[in-house]
Chain A
Amino acid sequence: MVPLTWYLILAAAIFCVGLFGVLARRNAVAIIMGIELMLNAVNLNLLAFWRYQSPADVAGQVFVIIVFAVAAAEAAVGLALIISIYRRRTTVSPEEIDLLKW
Chain B
Amino acid sequence: MTAEQLLFLAVGAVTLIASILVVTSPRLVHAGLWLILALAGVAVLFVLLENGFLAVVQVAIYIDAIAILIIIVVMLTRAVMRETDPQINRTWVLAGMAALLLFGSLLAIVLQLPAPIRPALLDPESGLDVLGKALVDVNGFILPFEIASVLLVAALIGAIVVARAPMRGD
Whether A47 lies near B81 (C-beta < 8 A) is no
Q: Find out whether the CB atom of B80 lies under 8 angstroms from the CB atom of A92.
A: yes
A6 touches B12 (CB 8 A): yes
CB neighbours of A14 from chain B (8 A): 15-16, 19, 38, 42
* Chain B neighbourhood of A97, CB < 8 A: none
Within 8 A of A (CB), among B75-95: 76-77, 80-81, 85-89, 91-92, 94-95
Supposing A17-B23, A23-B98 touch, asked if A4 and B113 sit within 8 A by C-beta, the answer is yes
Known contacts A16-B100, A34-B22, A81-B162; is-contact A69 B148 (Cβ 8 Å): yes
Q: Which 7 A-B pairs have the closest CB atoms?
A: A21-B23, A73-B155, A23-B95, A80-B163, A12-B106, A24-B95, A80-B159
* B binding-site residues for A, Cβ under 8 Å: 2, 4-5, 8, 12, 15-16, 19-20, 22-23, 28, 31-32, 35, 38-39, 42, 45-46, 48-51, 54, 57-58, 61-62, 65-66, 69-70, 73-74, 76-77, 80-81, 85-89, 91-92, 94-96, 98-100, 102-103, 106-107, 110-111, 113, 115-123, 126, 130-131, 134-135, 140-141, 144-145, 148-149, 151-152, 154-156, 158-160, 162-163, 165-166
